[in-house]
Chain A
Amino acid sequence: MARLKTDATEAQIQDWCCTYLARALRLKAEKIDRTATFASIGLDSAEALFLVSALEDWSGLDLDSDTAYEHPSVAQLSRFVIECIQAQSPGR
């Protein structure tokens, strides 16, 4: 597992998600609606797990497999991730 990305910002996480989704779904990153549900942009349940798994590698967090169900849009997922990072960062 990678080191925890303590310096990440919410905007940065959103950008990362959009870049990932753009590649996985063959979209243009700037065309992704950050508030649209993952299902509505064509992410199936297996692809959602792959997103979570890639996000773990990038962020250094340990995430549940249902994270993308619980937080089903780029905006919601990024909010959740930044909260996890802040909660786990030392010196808070």
Chain B
Amino acid sequence: MTQLNSMVELLARQASDHGDREAFRFLPERNAAETTLTFAELDRRARAFAARLLRQAVPGERALLLFLPGLDFVIAFFGCLAAGVIGVPLMPPRRAGGRDSSAEVIADCSPRLALTSADLAAARPDLAERFGADLAWITVDAATEATEHAASVPAPGPDDIAFLQYTSGSTSSPKGVMVTHGNLLADMEMIRVAMRLSAQSTSVGWVPVYHDMGLMMGVMLPLYIGALSVMMPPASFMQRPLNWLRAIGRFRAEVASAPNFAFDLCADRFRPDLMEGVDLTGCKVAMNAAEPVQAETVARFAETFAPYGFEIAATFPAYGLAEATLMVTASDHGAGPVQQRISRAALLRGRAAAPKSDGDAQDVVASGRVLAGQRIAIVDADSREPRPPNRVGEIWVSGDNVAPGYWRNPEATEATFHARLAGDHDGAHWLRTGDLGFLDESGALYVTGRIKDLIIVRGVNHYPQDIERTVQNAHPALRRDWGAAFAVADAHGVERLVLVQEVERTLRHGLDLDVIAARIREAVASEHEIAVHDIALIRPASLPKTTSGKVQRTLARQLWEEGRLERV
């Protein structure tokens, strides 16, 4: 390939090389007609849409992308790229109240445009009012685009911002990662090599496009390699998880990407009658990323779907983050999951070592090795010294895929993107991921937690996920995956453990809160050797979570401090 400078050039090349080939296919819910876009159609409609954008905005201005699942998003997204308008994918806010960060995102990126589809505009007339009168709304519409001439703007260069990716971190201060065309092309090429992809590498996905994984794996990567991307609505997967696998079989898809929970859900909802005739032998890359990869899940999924041709060798754990465009480490193609059994006690002290007993053993799954073209370092966050293999530290990343920073946020950019290793005088900038992990001797990365959520009691590091699991196992009335453990400083500045935990609806007479609290205290004390400062048992569905289902511990702590938890 000759050197490409932007995703716009790439789309033009795909359109001229094989314009008639199908690029995207959308499988709607129920029996609505499937929609498709060829490479040529996408190129033409994106350029026509760009012309519409440029009547109301100039290159460099921001455009919110608010879409229901479907191909209109793809047209609008590439329309923004062709116009040089910076797209900002956003989850359409839920109808009723609900926490989300859309108001904060709008305040942060001050968009000129809001782009949407006719179906969402009709279903949600409230959005225009909610988002303020300053926005010009433009609806993707085939008939209007058919009458447009392609926009003529200078093609973007590799350093130009392609879009802003708002991370789903804290709601109060969202940060927009400025992903450039150069970042995209660099990361896509690394992924292509790691996954051994070709123009025949069809993928089937349902992860929402306002998440980095859905956008990259469902839209950008397929376009980059010139392969078909089959897209499903997220709700369609949640309602009928096996439809994902059926679609993988139907299209002989080679690539399927999802967070760990999705693989669990497929195994949970397995029904032989729904899997009849499904052939998964074509699936060579089942990417598991975006949340901790669980050994139990990987084994269970492979076992459940082996009769349908799924091979465990296709299991493809990976690690990445929006600040690095998407992917940082990935498994060896065709090698399957790599895991080891390590000591829980040693891990708490920041080391990977052999377990001393069965009770001390914990299975951890590797997220693969750093992709060719990037560098990774495990660093002591305080001294900024690199750590040797099998020592836990903060994961630092460097490479052409690392974004230049956060939108209009020089402080956060400096702190996160411009880190330097101690004693390193060559001036190399590193991205601090905020994630913790260790490398084994072969260079495989094991992600073990998040630096900010770490609970340090008497010099011992505790991962909140572990304590939460203990809490949830302490009593059947406690909801799995719906608890938060965090540290607060007491009057003496000593870190104390606070637990927030949702309670299942239970028999009125059977639910003795004192008994439950007592069991929790006992379990946490005996398994983690920590005395609990406070236990807040709260109503179901009142714990804050991100749109991707991650527990928001910082927000839970804030609610606890402000006394705003819905205690039972």
Contact = CB atoms under 8 A, between A and B. Distances in A.
Same complex for A and B? Answer yes
Interface of A: 25-28, 31, 39, 41-44, 46, 49-50, 52-53, 62, 64-66, 69
B540 A69 contact: no
B504 to A, nearest CB: 5
Interface residues of B, number: 21
A32 B541 CA distance: 17
Most buried by B among A39, A43, A49: A49
B422 to A, nearest CB: 45
Which secondary structure characterizes the binding site on chain B?
A: loop
B29 A65 contact: yes
A65 B541 contact: no
A62 B507 CA distance: 33
A31 B95 contact: no
B31 A49 contact: no
Interface string B28-42: 011100000000000
B541 A44 contact: yes
B551 to A, nearest CB: 13
Contacts of A64: 29-30
A64 B506 CA distance: 29
B541 A42 contact: yes
Given A25-B540, A42-B539, A43-B541, A53 B240 contact: yes
Interface of B: 29-31, 95, 233, 235-236, 238-240, 476-477, 504-508, 539-541, 549
Given A53-B240, A65-B239, 13 more contacts: A25-B505, A26-B476, A27-B506, A31-B507, A39-B541, A42-B541, A46-B238, A50-B239, A53-B239, A62-B30, A65-B233, A65-B235, A65-B238
Contacts of B238: 46, 49-50, 65
Nearest to A53: B239
A69 B539 CA distance: 20
A69 B95 CA distance: 9
A41 B542 CA distance: 11
B214 to A, nearest CB: 17
Contact of B505 (A41, A49, A66, A69): A41
A42 B511 CA distance: 16
B417 to A, nearest CB: 34
Contacts of B476: 26
B481 to A, nearest CB: 10
Contact of B31 (A27, A44, A52, A62): A62
Contacts of A69: 95
A59 to B, nearest CB: 14
Contacts of B505: 25-27, 41-42
Contact of B239 (A25, A26, A49): A49
A39 B505 CA distance: 12
Contacts of B541: 39, 42-44
A42 B479 CA distance: 11
A62 B236 CA distance: 12
Nearest to A31: B508
B507 A28 contact: yes
A43 B95 CA distance: 17
Contacts of B507: 27-28, 31
Contacts of A50: 238-239
B510 to A, nearest CB: 9
